[in-house]
Structure 1
Amino acid sequence: MGTEFEHKLLVTGEEWRTSALSSSSLSQAYLCTQPGMTIRVRLVDDRVGYLTVKGKQAGIGRPEYEYEIPVGDARELLGLAQDGFPISKTRYELGDPWPGWVVDEFSGENAGLVVAELEVPAEDTAWEAPDWAGTDVTADPRYTNAVLYSTPYTHWS
């Protein structure tokens, strides 16, 4: 079992763009979203598929199992997910001076939302928020992709 430890912050500035090393287009949907567990299917650049199972979050950590699956299977599974709003976003991987950070710029029903994430090896790992980042939303469930799938950002009042 793997455990993902992740900090998530809203992005308030544009300075991060100068450090973007690469970007990829992500499409994803949820096959299961129940308390304590989600099952996600993801397609990256329409070339690589993943099936991910995540457990209940405790602090900034949560169990995560991720498996690469055939692209055709990922497309079919995305088509099976009918009870939500598919997540579309561009993910930017950042380099110096913010190595390790990724920025997700959402589109579709979540357009206008830009979130930065930093995975760390353990809950007590020291980290620093970039000056272009704002509110820490790690503990706010509204900003999880599973919730954004059922209650998109553009539908918030």
Structure 2
Amino acid sequence: LGHDDPTVIKQLEDLTGEEAASIPLNDKQTMAIFSSVEPLEVKPDDIGTSVGTYGIPEFGTRFVRQMLEATRPTTFSELVRISGLSHGTDVWLNNAQTLIEGEIASLNEVICTRDDIMIYLIQQGIEKNRAFQIMENVRKGKGLNSNQIDIMQESQVPSWYIES
């Protein structure tokens, strides 16, 4: 991942005279392009997709456009979650996609980043160090041991979450 974003943002502020912090993150027309082409005043057949994100970094690829079509995000927070889902092996494919499309879990419930794991497990009452260790095992691709699974089951973590 690049680290030039803050520099580019500063350059854009200088060019436009607008501060980045003053740009609303909930503009309805802007948010709508992540779930339809209506704000662009074109038809899906005209551009070959039902979302208006061509040219938007990270959201214009075929893979991410398919994710947008499946989830139809409406909030900035959901866009951040989609960004998390679009990185890594079996984060979206064979995992969150199946859960969302099967209506087993929503976009706001599936694991999108490793931080989601730790935060959720702590919310479920699992001790912070144990939650961290579970998150680290998942991050490193080590999977879960039987003790970790038992701890999560005792804390009422759904089986789909444990398997995810």
TM-score greater than 0.5 by the shorter chain: no
Normalised to the residue count of structure 1, the TM-score between the two structures is 0.23
Q: Higher strand share goes to which structure? A: 1
